[in-house]
Amino acid sequence: MAFKLSYSFEGNSRTKPEQNLSGASKKMTKDILLQKTHEERRKRQEQRLKLQSAELLQSHIRSYIDRKHKKEEERILFDELEGSGNIQVLLSKLLFFYDPREDKARLFKLANKLVQLNEGISNRMVTDSSFCWLIKRFLVQCLKNMKDNVETMILLQCLYIFTTDANMFIYLIQKDYYGYLRKQLENGKHHLQEIILLIYKPFKFTNDSDILSNLALSEFCTHFLKPSLTHNVKSILIPYMKSQHRDFPFEKLILYLNGINHFENSYNLLYCVLDLEPDDYEPNCSSIEVLSKLSSNIHELKPPPDLTEMSDDDEEEENPETVEKRFLLSDYLKILNRCGKVKKWLNLFEKNNNNEKVLVAFTNLCHNLLLVYKDSMRKYLLLYKFGLNSTFLIKLWEYLNKNNSRQLEAKGTSLAVWRNYHTALSVFCDMFTFYTATLTDSGKNNNYSRYKTEINTISEKSDTSHTFAQNDLFEMSKLLKNVARGLIEVAFPMSRASSVPSTPEVIHLYRACLNCVHILYTLDLRKKFCPVNFWTLDKIHIPPDLARKDYLSKKISSFYGSREDEDEHIPPLSTIEQRSLAILEELPFLVSFNTRILLLRDLCRNSLGEDDYQRLHHELMHDNVIVIRRTHIYEDAFDKISQKSELDLKHKVRIQFINNVGLEEAGIDGGGIFKEFLNEVLKTAFDPNRGFFLLTADNTLYPNPNVHLIVENFTDHYYFIGRLVGKAIFENILVDLPLAEFFLGKLLVERAPAHYLKSLDPVLYRNLLYLRDYNGDISDLGLDFTTVNNDLGETRVKDLKPNGSNIPVTNENRLEYIQLLADLKLNGQLKKQCTAFRDGLNSVVPLAWLKLFSHTELQVIIGGDTEEIDVDDLREHTTYGGEFVADHPTIILFWKIVSRFTEVQKKQLLKFVTSCSRPPLLGFKELNPSFCIQSSGTENRMPTSSTCLNLLKIPIITEEGTLKTKLLAAIEQQAGFELS
């Protein structure tokens, strides 16, 4: 194929591009063409809209100008006809052209004319509907133009005269009738009485129209009862409405409110409903349900915790809103505590106690009141009465049983939505705790059935054993123990994602349930309705770190709280450790006694140092030697270890005795001499002849309530004695001190409950029980609110409450009398003594550690185990000295004799050797020094002992009869104490 070649010989080898000089291409793509078309259409549309808008605007302007001219013409015509014109014409013209800036004077003139012609106007309104319509519109203008001045009076007169039927009020209320009147009520000063009449007037016609009834109640609540309660509403409007109870539809108000499920700021509405209630009104289920709904957020009125502790100097700076809430809360107390009102509520419950709706309504109301104060049970009369009402408790327990098992599992998913059974559980726990904390024991342990008729006839018989059967109490303990464990898991969640919001309801349920479980445990100590080891059936692990670091001394807060006064040097606890700590603080009895004893030992040991080196260092740095004269053992000990002394009894204390002739006794105190010293001083301090302590009927010790008449600085002495008891506990030295049950209880709690009175004064206790269950008229007994004290032969009358000598004891206030008298005997008379003793005890062993134990366990810690003495355990942990060994004939005879001793003789032997008749808590392996038997020579000697060394010295005897005779003679006479 031939190729066409092109050659150029111009000297430029590059070809030039072709150029088109005809201009840009006129061709368009389809998309560009469509876009251009749309844009042109849009512009045409905008142009049309502009033209239309201009025409509409011009039309409105022309209309406005025409109306303005027309109104001016009508205004001129109105002025011309005002003197002699037709009222209907004048009304229609005024309503047509009325402008508040120009026509107020015309409005007032016409209103005045209408008032003058009121009879004719009223008659015409009945026959002429079009005229009536004009009057309605005119009255709306009257509402809108009300001001706080004298001229407004004529408008108020028009409103009052021409509102003649239900339809008129329906129209006006729809036009914000109550809204305008609320503004006048708050801002006005001249016409309050007329405004009150207008507010009330619609309710005169509510029987004629259900529409008006619902509308008036709705708007009345919205504008007057729900907003903040001002002085005019509380002091003028509400009292007037209540005084007109024949016309005011209170029952319809209750039904209307009962149909509403949610209220905001309902505590204001609650106050109004309570205050509006007629004196002769009989409550019903609906009214209680309304009160329970409206009181749902009454707890929001209580001030924050930091404000409750505010001093008097800071009161001027208190927030006005907080002051208002505080006063409103005090008003609630007055209204809710009216005896007549509470009596009607109680009668309603008694008549309908089988009605579950009534029970739930009262339960919800009680729950809302319980959230307000920590001591709501004693502040609100309704709670106090229900707290002592056995029928209410029984029905509540039956309701819980009916909704038992799955619903009461207090896991996170269950508490995420608050339900009726949570409310019932919370209320039951509080009520049962209060019920049981009152005078509960009748001295019997009868297994009464809860369905006996006596319970329904005695509504305030506060005896748990008569209210619940043994099996009920056991089922109650089983349920609430499981719920409490679940609540602790909820309070200390594994992660924030699984946590439950710490609402007031949840926190209250947590506290109420734990307190109730504690009460049930205390009750079980007396009633024995739970099987042995029931409370410690579940094994609970206690981490060792809880003892190494003193976490127990600082209260841990639930629901992601922190320890009080949190120490940066103490590492944070894991969730499992927090739960264990919470159980130790709140429910320590779920942990076995031996575990808690070992924990107490570890806490005492670790308080001197975290390891042996630190403890040895502290012991060397605090080597305290105290010189004590045997002739003045108590006086010298008080001088050296009293409150004025800076001696820290947690550290080792060595005693140097001075004998009767003034010489130092030989020997170095290795612990035994201090033990002897401690026993002797406490024996002297607790001697009733010394005056600091007295004996109860069962020969147990308690502080002397009249000690102030004997010793002036008695609190220093009780502080000193408390320190010594604390030292005995700290050093694990058992002392034979039979302390009264109520006194032990007061060492663990601030105020002893009334049932402890049985251990202080059994006769008074029985008398109070008789008074509680007396079926006649108590006023016939001639009692008043006073008590007679015998102060060392001088009789004094003391009032139990202000003006108590003039207040007779009646059937209604007998429980208050019982509580006040028991509180005086247990707490009032002994307050200073017990406080000083507690402070002294706390200075050595923190009370937070001792609260791990019950009062009975505390007696065991102080004085030893109450179980029978295990001779085999004693023999296994006995050492021998001198010529004696385990298989020595005399030793074999000794153990043979001891094994045949009675329990009393065994205790005498133990006291003879160790100064305490009870064995150590965890067995004789704990006895320090160990129980030791040493030979004392020939057969003609008597057995002796050295209690400071736990040493028994017996002669070498090979005849069983002789050894037994001498041994019994020594231990029964408790003779032969010496320092070897």
Whole-number pLDDT of residue 415? 65
Whole-number pLDDT of residue 306? 46
Residue closest to 686 by CA, chosen among 636, 731, 721, 635: 721
Q: Which residue has the higher pLDDT, 792 or 202?
A: 202
- Catalytic annotation on 948? yes
Q: Which of 225-239, 382-396, 816-830 has the lowest mean pLDDT?
A: 225-239
For residue range 179-190, list pLDDT tens digits in order. Answer: 999 988 888 777
The band of 310, judged by pLDDT with boundaries at 50, 70 and 90, is: very low
- Determine whether 828 is exposed, middle or buried from the number of CB atoms within 10 Å of its CB (0-12, 13-18, 19+): middle
The residues, any chain, with a CB within 8 Å of residue 232's CB and separated by 6 or more, are: 185, 186, 192
Asked if 864 and 916 touch (Cβ cutoff 8 Å), the reply is yes
State the Cα–Cα distance between residues 489 and 513, nearest whole angstrom.
Answer: 13
State the Cα–Cα distance between residues 902 and 759, nearest whole angstrom.
Answer: 28
Q: Which residue has the higher pLDDT, 609 or 126?
A: 126
Whole-number pLDDT of residue 835? 92
For residue range 25-45, list pLDDT tens digits in order. Answer: 556 678 888 888 888 899 999
Whether residue 832 has pLDDT greater than 50: yes
Whole-number pLDDT of residue 922? 80
Whole-number pLDDT of residue 313? 44
From the CA atom positions of the chain, what is the Rg in Å?
44
Whether the full predicted model's pTM is greater than 0.75, yes or no, is yes
Asked if 216 and 203 touch (Cβ cutoff 8 Å), the reply is yes
Residue ranges, CATH 3.30.2410.10, the chain: 865-973
Q: Which residue has the higher pLDDT, 301 or 898?
A: 898
For residue range 779-791, list pLDDT tens digits in order. Answer: 888 888 888 877 6
Q: Which residue has the higher pLDDT, 753 or 621?
A: 753
Q: Which of 130-134, 326-330, 385-389, 575-579 has the lowest mean pLDDT?
A: 326-330
Can you tell me the mean pLDDT for 615-631? Answer: 73
Residue ranges, CATH 1.25.10, the chain: 388-537
Whether residue 809 has pLDDT greater than 80: yes
Phi (first) and psi of residue 953, to 5 degrees: -110, 120
Whole-number pLDDT of residue 466? 66
Whole-number pLDDT of residue 11? 57
Whole-number pLDDT of residue 940? 78
The band of 413, judged by pLDDT with boundaries at 50, 70 and 90, is: very low
The maximal CA–CA distance of the chain, rounded, in angstroms, is: 160
For residue range 450-491, list pLDDT tens digits in order. Answer: 333 333 333 344 455 567 888 889 999 998 998 898 888 888
Whole-number pLDDT of residue 323? 72
Whole-number pLDDT of residue 865? 77
The band of 339, judged by pLDDT with boundaries at 50, 70 and 90, is: confident
CATH architecture of structural domain 388-537: Alpha Horseshoe (1.25)
Secondary structure element (H or E) that encloses residue 643, with its range: none
The residues, any chain, with a CB within 8 Å of residue 933's CB and separated by 6 or more, are: 878, 879, 880, 881, 884, 891, 894, 951, 952, 953, 954
Whether residue 747 has pLDDT greater than 60: yes
Whole-number pLDDT of residue 671? 66
Can you tell me the mean pLDDT for 851-864? Answer: 89
For residue range 67-96, list pLDDT tens digits in order. Answer: 888 888 888 888 888 777 688 888 898 888
Look up residue 657 and give its DSSP letter: E
Residue 747 three-state SS = helix
Secondary structure element (H or E) that encloses residue 610, with its range: none
Asked if 863 and 918 touch (Cβ cutoff 8 Å), the reply is yes
Alpha-carbon distances, residue 154 vs 21, 172, 213, 222, 515 (angstroms): 94, 18, 28, 27, 65
Whole-number pLDDT of residue 309? 44
For residue range 630-669, list pLDDT tens digits in order. Answer: 888 888 888 888 766 666 777 788 888 887 777 877 665 6
- For the segment(s) 865-973, the CATH number from 3.30.70.20, 3.30.2410.10, 3.30.70.100, 3.40.50.1460 is 3.30.2410.10
For residue range 200-230, list pLDDT tens digits in order. Answer: 999 888 888 889 988 999 899 888 888 778 8
- Determine whether 533 is exposed, middle or buried from the number of CB atoms within 10 Å of its CB (0-12, 13-18, 19+): exposed
Residue 880: count other Cβ atoms within 10 Å of its Cβ: 14
Secondary structure element (H or E) that encloses residue 904, with its range: helix 903-914
For residue range 149-169, list pLDDT tens digits in order. Answer: 777 888 899 999 999 889 999
Share of the chain above pLDDT 70, in %: 85
Q: Which two tokens stand for residue 966?
A: 């001498």
Whole-number pLDDT of residue 667? 60
Q: Which two tokens stand for residue 285?
A: 């289920």
The band of 621, judged by pLDDT with boundaries at 50, 70 and 90, is: low
CATH class of 686-714+722-863: alpha beta
For residue range 513-548, list pLDDT tens digits in order. Answer: 999 999 999 888 888 889 988 998 878 888 877 777
Asked if 182 and 223 touch (Cβ cutoff 8 Å), the reply is yes
Whole-number pLDDT of residue 975? 47
Among 142, 221, 513, 948, the active-site one is 948
Q: Which residues of 617-635 are buried (b: 16+ CB within 10 A; e: fewer)?
A: ebeeeeeeebebeeeebbe
Asked if 822 and 439 touch (Cβ cutoff 8 Å), the reply is yes
Whole-number pLDDT of residue 307? 42
Whether residue 979 has pLDDT greater than 50: no
Whole-number pLDDT of residue 868? 84
3-state SS record for 176-222: CHHHHHHHHHHHCCCCHHHHHHHHHHHHHHCCCCHHHHHHHHHHHHH
The band of 432, judged by pLDDT with boundaries at 50, 70 and 90, is: very high
For residue range 251-260, list pLDDT tens digits in order. Answer: 888 888 888 8
State the Cα–Cα distance between residues 471 and 448, nearest whole angstrom.
Answer: 10
The band of 443, judged by pLDDT with boundaries at 50, 70 and 90, is: very low
Side-chain-side CA neighbours of residue 242 (13 Å): 18
Can you tell me the mean pLDDT for 294-313? Answer: 65
Residue 230 three-state SS = coil
Average pLDDT over the chain, rounded to whole? 82
Residue 641 three-state SS = helix
Whole-number pLDDT of residue 170? 93
**Helices 575-586, 470-491: crossing angle, 10 deg rounding:** 140
Whole-number pLDDT of residue 561? 53
Whole-number pLDDT of residue 375? 85
Q: Which residue has the higher pLDDT, 245 or 642?
A: 642
Secondary structure element (H or E) that encloses residue 679, with its range: helix 672-685
